Chain A
Amino acid sequence: MFARLRQNRRLLILLALGALLLLCMLIAVSLGAVSISPLNIIKMVLDKTGLFHFTATWQPSDETILFLIRLPRVVAGALVGAALASAGVLFQGMLRNPMADPYIIGTSAGAAFGATIAMMLPVSVAFLSFGLVPIAAFFGALGAVLLVYNLAKVGGKTPIVSMLLAGFAVSAMLTAVVFLMVTLSGRQGFLQNVYSFLMGSISVTGWTQIALIAPLIIGGIIAARFLAFRLNALSLGEEGAAYLGIDVEREKILILALGSLLTAAAVSISGLVGFVGLVVPHAVRLVLGPDHRLLLPAAALSGGAFLVLADLFARTVLAPSEIPIGILTAIIGAPFFIYLLRHTRREYAF
Chain B
Amino acid sequence: MKRLALILIALGSALILAGALLPVTASSTSSPSNTKQSLEITDDHGRTVTIADIPERVISLAPSATEILFALGVGDKVVGVTDYCDYPEELVEKIDTGEIQKVGAPFPGFNLETIVDLKPDVVFAIGATVPDYVYDLDELGIPAIVLNAKDIDGIFHDIELVGEVSGKEEEAEVLVADLGDDIDEIVAKVSGVSIRAVFYGVDVSNPALLWTAGNGTFIDALIALAGGVNIAGDLEGWPTYNLEDLVDTNPDIIVLGGALWGVSTADVVSKPVWEDLDAIKNERIFAIDDTTLVRPGPRIAEGLELLATLIHPELFED
Contact = CB atoms under 8 A, between A and B. Distances in A.
B109 A203 contact: yes
A187 B139 contact: no
Given A34-B117, A187-B237, A187-B238, A129 B139 contact: yes
A4 B106 contact: no
Contact of B22 (A48, A62, A319): A48
A71 B23 CA distance: 10
Given A61-B29, A64-B116, A187-B128, A196 B136 contact: no
B114 A34 contact: yes
Interface residues of B, number: 52
A67 interface: yes
Contacts, number: 145
A279 interface: no
Contacts of B21: 207, 210-211
B128 A206 contact: no
Nearest to B21: A207
B109 A201 contact: yes
Contacts of B13: 218
A214 interface: yes
B266 interface: no
A150 interface: no
A196 B108 contact: yes
Interface in B222-238: 236-238
Contacts of A206: 24, 136, 139-140
B26 A63 contact: yes
A49 interface: yes
A208 B20 CA distance: 12
B141 to A, nearest CB: 7
Contact of A205 (B112, B128, B129): B112
Given A123-B129, A131-B132, 5 more contacts: A68-B116, A131-B135, A186-B237, A207-B20, A320-B113
3 tightest A-B CB contacts, nearest first: A186-B237, A206-B139, A320-B111
Interface of B: 1-2, 5-6, 9-10, 13-14, 17, 19-24, 26-29, 45, 83, 102-109, 111-114, 116-117, 119, 128-130, 132, 135-136, 138-141, 214, 236-240
Interface of A: 4, 7, 10-11, 14, 18, 32-34, 48-49, 59-65, 67-71, 75, 121-124, 126, 129-131, 133, 183, 185-189, 192-193, 195-196, 201, 203, 205-208, 210-211, 214, 218, 222, 225, 293, 297, 319-324
